[in-house]
Chains A and B, each alone.
Chain A
Amino acid sequence: GAVVSQHPSWVICKSGTSVKIECRSLDFQATTMFWYRQFPKQSLMLMATSNEGSKATYEQGVEKDKFLINHASLTLSTLTVTSAHPEDSSFYICSAREAGQRTHGYTFGSGTRLTVV
């Protein structure tokens, strides 16, 4: 079946630095990728939707200059947390939708635990 690889699984960074998280679809082409943030014991909050070759669409309240999303190919999307601060510490999860699969094909990565110290 469809597999999405997300790296790194966990990362610790210093306050003020930037961190990049990668999301790759391994065996399918993902025209759309989604980035979520999850706080402890809470549901997933959609941050942004990215379509290959175009700018990401951010949800209300999400700072696009802080959370940079790039979806340059049909198999790779990246989320860069810029000038990270402790409040950015969270669990980030990506999801990819296979081309032509409409709603049938949401596949999730394994998540990235970001800790900013």
Chain B
Amino acid sequence: AQSVTQLGSHVSVSEGALVLLRCNYSSSVPPYLFWYVQYPNQGLQLLLKYTTGATLVKGINGFEAEFKKSDTSFHLTKPSAHMSDAAEYFCAVSDDYKLSFGAGTTVTVRA
């Protein structure tokens, strides 16, 4: 069985401030982990993914995430928020068959 918990359903940051979105996973097998972004009335766009190898993963739009097996986390960060980062973010885990999504975190960016 696999599952994802996203801590915080809503995060508000100032433009230029650090963005930190928290994700913890549970998986009975070595996990594949993903972060997706969704803009209103659109599908999901892949930000980054971890499969194997380097635990610090860099993605698009300046985002990165670190896989930490010790505390089963895969938190997403971006050093400096931009207004265009306002969106819904989903963490997901895969058991090599299907994706299981977290509940999502809404990010708002204050000017």
B contacts with A, residue count (CB < 8 A): 21
Contact of B43 among A10, A41, A93, A102 (CB under 8 A): A93
Check B43 against A43 for contact (C-beta < 8 Å): no
Residues of B within 8 A of A102 (CB): 96
- Describe A's contact surface by its main secondary structure: strand
Check A91 against B32 for contact (C-beta < 8 Å): no
| Contact A93-B44, Cβ < 8 Å, known A43-B104, A46-B98, A106-B99 | yes
Contact of A91 among B41, B98, B99 (CB under 8 A): B41
A25 at the binding interface (Cβ < 8 Å)? no
A contacts with B, residue count (CB < 8 A): 23
Contact of B101 among A4, A41, A44, A103 (CB under 8 A): A44
| Assembly CA distance A13 to B46 (angstroms) | 31
How far in angstroms is the closest Cβ of chain A from B76?
16
Check A44 against B96 for contact (C-beta < 8 Å): no
List 12 contacting pairs A-B, 8 Å CB cutoff, sorted by A. Answer: A6-B43, A43-B101, A49-B98, A93-B43, A102-B96, A103-B51, A104-B32, A106-B46, A108-B43, A108-B44, A109-B43, A113-B41
Residues on B lying within 8 angstroms of A by beta carbon are 32, 34, 36, 41-46, 49, 51, 90, 94, 96, 98-99, 101-104, 106
